[in-house]
Chain A
Amino acid sequence: MRWMNRLQKTLSTLFRRGSETVRLDEEMRFHLEQEIAERIARGASREDARREAMRQFGNPTLLRDEARSVWNWGWLETLSRDVRYGTRALLRSPGFAITAIVVMALCIGATTCLFTVVRSVLLKALPFDDPDHLVMLYEHWRANTSGNPYNPVAPGDFFEWRAQTHGFADMASYHYSNLTVTGEHGEMPEMVAAQKGTWNLFPLLGVTPALGRTFREDEDRLGDHHVAILTWSFFQRRFGGDPSIVGKTFRMATKPYTVVGVLPEWFAYPDARTQVWVPYADGETAERLQEHDNHYPFVVARMKPGVSLKMATDEVSAVQYRMHMQYAGHPVAEDVMSRPMIDDVVHEVKTPLLMMMSAVLCMLMIGCLNVSNLLVARSAARQKEMAIRGALGAGRFALLREQMTETVLLCAGGGAIGLLLAQAGTSYLKLHWRGLPRAASIHVDLVVVLFTFGVMGFTAILAGLLPALSSTQRGILEGLKDSSRAAGAGVSRARLRKTLLSVEIALTVVLLLSAGLLLKSFIQLRTTDLGIADDHLLTLRYSLPMEVYSKPEQSVAFSEALLERVRRIPGIKSAGLGSTVPGGGYDGDQVFIIPERPNYESNKQPDAMIRYADPAYFSTLGIPLITGRVFNEHDRLDQSKKILVSQELVKRYYPGENVIGRTIVMGTEITNKKRTYEVVGVVGDTLWRAGERTKATVYFPVLSGDTGYMSTLAVRTSGDPLSYAVAIQKEIAALDPQLPVIDVLTIPQIVGQSTINQSFSASLVLAFAVLSLLLAGVGLYGVLSYVVTQRVTEIGIRIALGAQRGQVLGMVLKDGLRPVGLGLAIGVCGGTAVGYVIRSLLYGTRPADPVVLTGMVATMLVVAVVACAAPAWRASSVDPMQALRTE
């Protein structure tokens, strides 16, 4: 059979190439001998026959090679030969090879690392069923024209939507809660982050539990039977991974909860901190489930096939508008907006990540340019070798191919190491970038490896093509004749290197400017004045369980006892209680009515952020009292219908008026006596989070005995605040051993947590910029050294003719700094443009910020001068006699 013969021949030319070649040799020899024998048979002498036959036969080796060239697998042989030669050539210049590989490894490693993160966080679909059809629904106030248009959905609104609309296949809702888990056998009480979700949430997402089951519809009801689903991490941590926990109970919020299931290990929605899920209606009251004016839950919906998102959303929006009209006068939104679920999960990190990806690509280009520069320098040394090989018959393509093979080897080596670096980098980011969504799903997989190969190929072409082309161009013969006296290929090579250097410096300056802007922005953010004296402050958070502290007197007693004990600790200068401290988050708002001006435009009812504070809160934190007084001892329990307001509230709603002694009614009923308060003082503004504008705030007294909010104890210490943590927690435990304490932090730590995205953006881009600066500096040094070597005779002549050393120094410096100047000019333009593109990430920093601009330009110039110094010095100290004698 033909194919068998063909296969046999193909395999033998692949695996037994050597012996096949020998066989061909023998065949040629045989043919030749037959020719000789034939001539001898015709009567020639042995010598004549031999000579005649050989002349007629031709070159046996050439003939053999011609026959051989027909074989398959020729390309493989060429490739393996190129690789062998390339490796040998690289081993001969180890310094160059190691430098190039290190540069490539860092650049490819960083690129791969960031690509892995971008792919896992932004590009990969959510790990749910048919994730493209999952959307989040939000309410939207028409009066809200700036800022975030997406508002959480009130429970009453959600249930109406679900009952009345049919555009979505299903809707589910969930919201955050925190619950205290207490141990059966004296384990420490622990406050865990929990989510309360409707029973259909997990089926809607398509999540099957690892153990047990998800909620049944009849379990998501008001009642006494409590069930919970554990997350995998909580299951492992608290219950030791023991599967028998399913069906058993544990105590949460002082009640027994039966575990019905455990979620799979990969499930980390909405965030990795969530430990346990309970049904939506668990622990609620009927009124709260019907509220239309309290907005804290989130809604997920699955699209119905065949129904467009717009149609379905409009239907829900219509229902919402009906309710808005029905409850006119109450804070009920008019519209509904939708957003794909993936956008919802990643929107905070999308822009920073994309920006970092661009920065790392910049660095990759710089690395390639650097290696390219090194290759051009190296090709100078091999000029004569290329010329001789060309003269011996090597085609341009063959020489090109060989040089590219070397580049590919360098990039492959760099890429392999880079892949390992990327693995380390992603592990580091996963661990330290807290709050990075979907962090658990980041890992290096096949796609990432293929991407690395692609990058390797791309960098090989980018870095290697230009040097290879320039070193194999026409006029190779000139290279043989070239000496350093003449101009020749040296000048064009120097020009090429300077051009590459200019581009490299331009990109470096762009990176430097971006890094500078981000760094300044981050520093501004971190050092924002929150409106308090933020030194020597320690904060601790706890939540008084409503079941234990059911009467207002109990919670007041606890608060006063705690403050008294804490104040007695030596070293504590003052202590205050409140709901939250500035910088610690939003914590909810409420609408209110100004009795003198009860009418307002539709849905522009005044609203304010709600805080609780005790009499010492303001002095402890250092919030100034502007007018009136702060709370005192007598503003407690029945006598506590007093409030303090922030300056911003006065500015917005009582411009130029005296607000002390006036009354404000919270909520929407002007006749509600229970929620009518008297304003007794105005305090200074604070920021609820670094980077966000201040919001009008209303403070209620802690001593009113209201419960149902998270409390923060703030203490001012002399000395390191954190050293008092244990002592304070002991006092809390002495009062109530079952009360867990969380978030023991200083104010700088709180601000650090809330700015972690900006921190990582700034640090990474700064790292890239510094690395690029280093590369650019080294590149500049290399180029200038090369130029000086080229011009050594010229410099010798100049000095011999009377040029001063200083003049020579200046000349060389100018020559070196010219590409730097060009690169700077282009880079500054580019960098400013980039600044405008990323301005959404900047805080308190303009894109063309003069401080950053001058700083970075100065840095670049300093590095450039330092890099040029050594070669310039060497040029100026050239001995003219030596220079003229060198060939």
Chain B
Amino acid sequence: MGLLILKTLSLEPKHGWAIAKRIQQISNDVLQVQQGSLYPALQRLEQQGWIRSKWAETETGRQARFYSLTAAGRAQLEKEQEMWSRLSAAINLVVES
């Protein structure tokens, strides 16, 4: 979940609902993000210092909390991407042998 959120935020700041929607979209509805896991994950990432939050207006004029990636978060994203590709490659090797 953390990797997905970091990646989603790597382009531009989003609020919680938008993050959930985007992940759903990009994965062709395979990954349905539950609120019960999304928001705790967001709090955890913010506590770690990978993302920071700010209250701002949306296009429709409502107040929402926007999350954005910090510099350290960007570095963490790269690290996690690299770890994930190594992990998935290894699993692939085992599964398809």
Chain B residue at minimal CB-CB distance from A67 = B39
Contact: B46 with A58, CB < 8 Å?
no
Shortest beta-carbon distance, B68 to chain A, in Å? Answer: 11
Contact: A63 with B46, CB < 8 Å?
no
Given A26-B63, A35-B17, A5:B70 Cβ within 8 A: yes
Interchain CA distance A531-B15 in the complex, whole Å: 101
Contact: A57 with B35, CB < 8 Å?
yes
Contact: B65 with A3, CB < 8 Å?
no
When the two chains form the complex, which single residue of B20, B36, B50 contacts A63, counting CB atoms closer than 8 Å? B36
Contact: A30 with B15, CB < 8 Å?
yes
Contact: A58 with B36, CB < 8 Å?
yes
A–B pairs, 29, beta carbons within 8 Å: A1-B72, A2-B49, A2-B70, A2-B71, A2-B72, A5-B70, A5-B72, A6-B48, A9-B46, A9-B49, A26-B63, A26-B65, A27-B65, A30-B63, A31-B17, A31-B20, A31-B35, A34-B17, A35-B17, A57-B35, A63-B35, A64-B39, A66-B39, A67-B39, A67-B40, A67-B42, A67-B43, A69-B40, A72-B47
Interchain CA distance A72-B46 in the complex, whole Å: 12
Given A9-B46, A10-B47, A69-B40, A27:B16 Cβ within 8 A: yes
Shortest beta-carbon distance, A67 to chain B, in Å? Answer: 4
The answer to the question of B79 belonging to the interface, with a C-beta cut-off of 8 Å to chain A, is no
Chain B window 6-36, contacts with chain A (Cβ cutoff 8 Å), 1 for yes, 0 for no: 0000000001110010000000000000011
Contacts of B63 in A (CB 8 A): 26, 30
Contact: B47 with A6, CB < 8 Å?
yes
The answer to the question of A128 belonging to the interface, with a C-beta cut-off of 8 Å to chain B, is no
Contacts of A1 in B (CB 8 A): 71-72
The answer to the question of A653 belonging to the interface, with a C-beta cut-off of 8 Å to chain B, is no
Contacts of A69 in B (CB 8 A): 40
- Apart from A13-B47, A34-B17, what 18 extra A-B contacts exist at CB < 8 Å? A2-B70, A5-B52, A6-B47, A9-B46, A9-B47, A24-B39, A26-B63, A27-B39, A27-B65, A28-B39, A30-B16, A30-B63, A30-B64, A30-B65, A66-B36, A68-B43, A70-B43, A70-B47
Contact: B49 with A23, CB < 8 Å?
no
Interchain CA distance A31-B43 in the complex, whole Å: 15
Contact: B35 with A58, CB < 8 Å?
yes
Name the interface residues of A1-59: CB closer than 8 Å to any CB of B.
Answer: 1-3, 5-6, 9-10, 13, 23-24, 26-28, 30-31, 33-35, 57-58
Interchain CA distance A27-B35 in the complex, whole Å: 11
Given A57-B35, A63-B39, A67-B43, A30:B62 Cβ within 8 A: yes
- What is the interface residue range for chain A against chain B? 20 to 34
When the two chains form the complex, which single residue of A26, A30, A67, A71 contacts B17, counting CB atoms closer than 8 Å? A30
User: A residues touching B (Cβ–Cβ < 8 Å)?
Assistant: 1-3, 5-6, 9-10, 13, 23-24, 26-28, 30-31, 33-35, 57-58, 63-64, 66-72
Contact: A6 with B44, CB < 8 Å?
no
Contacts of A66 in B (CB 8 A): 36, 39-40
Chain B window 54-97, contacts with chain A (Cβ cutoff 8 Å), 1 for yes, 0 for no: 01000000111100001110000000000000000000000000
Interchain CA distance A31-B47 in the complex, whole Å: 21
Contacts of A10 in B (CB 8 A): 47
Shortest beta-carbon distance, B44 to chain A, in Å? Answer: 5
Chain B residue at minimal CB-CB distance from A34 = B17
When the two chains form the complex, which single residue of A33, A64, A71 contacts B47, counting CB atoms closer than 8 Å? A71
Contact: B42 with A6, CB < 8 Å?
no
Shortest beta-carbon distance, A690 to chain B, in Å? Answer: 75
Interchain CA distance A57-B40 in the complex, whole Å: 15
Interchain CA distance A810-B36 in the complex, whole Å: 65
Interchain CA distance A600-B49 in the complex, whole Å: 95
- Please count the residue pairs between chain A and chain B whose beta carbons lie under 8 angstroms apart in the complex: 70
Shortest beta-carbon distance, B5 to chain A, in Å? Answer: 13
Interchain CA distance A773-B65 in the complex, whole Å: 67
* A6, A10, A69 — most chain B CB neighbours (10 Å): A6
User: B residues touching A (Cβ–Cβ < 8 Å)?
Assistant: 15-17, 20, 35-36, 39-40, 42-44, 46-50, 52, 55, 62-65, 70-72
Contacts of B15 in A (CB 8 A): 27, 30
Chain A contact residues, majority secondary structure: helix
When the two chains form the complex, which single residue of A3, A24, A27 contacts B64, counting CB atoms closer than 8 Å? A27
Contacts of A13 in B (CB 8 A): 47
Chain A residue at minimal CB-CB distance from B15 = A30
Contacts of B55 in A (CB 8 A): 23
Interchain CA distance A582-B50 in the complex, whole Å: 89
Chain B residue at minimal CB-CB distance from A5 = B49
Interchain CA distance A63-B42 in the complex, whole Å: 13
Shortest beta-carbon distance, A395 to chain B, in Å? Answer: 20
Interchain CA distance A64-B16 in the complex, whole Å: 13
Contacts of A57 in B (CB 8 A): 35
Shortest beta-carbon distance, B48 to chain A, in Å? Answer: 7
Contacts of A24 in B (CB 8 A): 39
When the two chains form the complex, which single residue of B39, B40, B49 contacts A6, counting CB atoms closer than 8 Å? B49
Interchain CA distance A71-B44 in the complex, whole Å: 7
Contacts of B71 in A (CB 8 A): 1-2
Shortest beta-carbon distance, B83 to chain A, in Å? Answer: 19
Interchain CA distance A70-B39 in the complex, whole Å: 10
Interchain CA distance A6-B17 in the complex, whole Å: 24
Contacts of A35 in B (CB 8 A): 17
Interchain CA distance A2-B48 in the complex, whole Å: 8
When the two chains form the complex, which single residue of A3, A28, A64, A68 contacts B49, counting CB atoms closer than 8 Å? A3
Shortest beta-carbon distance, B25 to chain A, in Å? Answer: 12
Which 5 pairs of residues, A with B, have the shortest CB-CB distance? Answer: A2-B72, A67-B39, A2-B49, A5-B49, A6-B49
Interchain CA distance A35-B50 in the complex, whole Å: 27
Interchain CA distance A23-B52 in the complex, whole Å: 15
Interchain CA distance A33-B58 in the complex, whole Å: 13
Shortest beta-carbon distance, B82 to chain A, in Å? Answer: 19
Shortest beta-carbon distance, A301 to chain B, in Å? Answer: 65
Contact: A70 with B44, CB < 8 Å?
yes
Chain B residue at minimal CB-CB distance from A66 = B40
* B36, B50, B63 — most chain A CB neighbours (10 Å): B36
Shortest beta-carbon distance, A449 to chain B, in Å? Answer: 36
Contact: A31 with B49, CB < 8 Å?
no
* A2, A13, A33, A64 — most chain B CB neighbours (10 Å): A2
Contacts of B35 in A (CB 8 A): 28, 31, 57-58, 63
Contacts of B42 in A (CB 8 A): 67
Shortest beta-carbon distance, A165 to chain B, in Å? Answer: 71
Chain A residue at minimal CB-CB distance from B35 = A63
Chain A residue at minimal CB-CB distance from B76 = A2
Interchain CA distance A31-B63 in the complex, whole Å: 11
Contacts of B70 in A (CB 8 A): 2, 5
Contacts of A3 in B (CB 8 A): 49
Interchain CA distance A67-B42 in the complex, whole Å: 8
Interchain CA distance A72-B48 in the complex, whole Å: 11
Shortest beta-carbon distance, B26 to chain A, in Å? Answer: 17
Chain B residue at minimal CB-CB distance from A56 = B35
Contacts of B72 in A (CB 8 A): 1-2, 5
Shortest beta-carbon distance, A53 to chain B, in Å? Answer: 11
Shortest beta-carbon distance, B40 to chain A, in Å? Answer: 5
Shortest beta-carbon distance, B62 to chain A, in Å? Answer: 7
Contacts of B50 in A (CB 8 A): 2
Contacts of B62 in A (CB 8 A): 30, 33
Interchain CA distance A34-B17 in the complex, whole Å: 7
Contacts of A71 in B (CB 8 A): 43, 47
Contacts of B36 in A (CB 8 A): 58, 63, 66
Contacts of B64 in A (CB 8 A): 27, 30
Interchain CA distance A30-B48 in the complex, whole Å: 24
Chain A residue at minimal CB-CB distance from B60 = A37
Interchain CA distance A69-B36 in the complex, whole Å: 12
Chain A residue at minimal CB-CB distance from B37 = A66
Contacts of A63 in B (CB 8 A): 35-36, 39
Contact: B16 with A31, CB < 8 Å?
yes
Contacts of A72 in B (CB 8 A): 47
Interchain CA distance A1-B42 in the complex, whole Å: 19
Interchain CA distance A66-B42 in the complex, whole Å: 11
Contacts of B48 in A (CB 8 A): 6
Contacts of B43 in A (CB 8 A): 67-68, 70-71
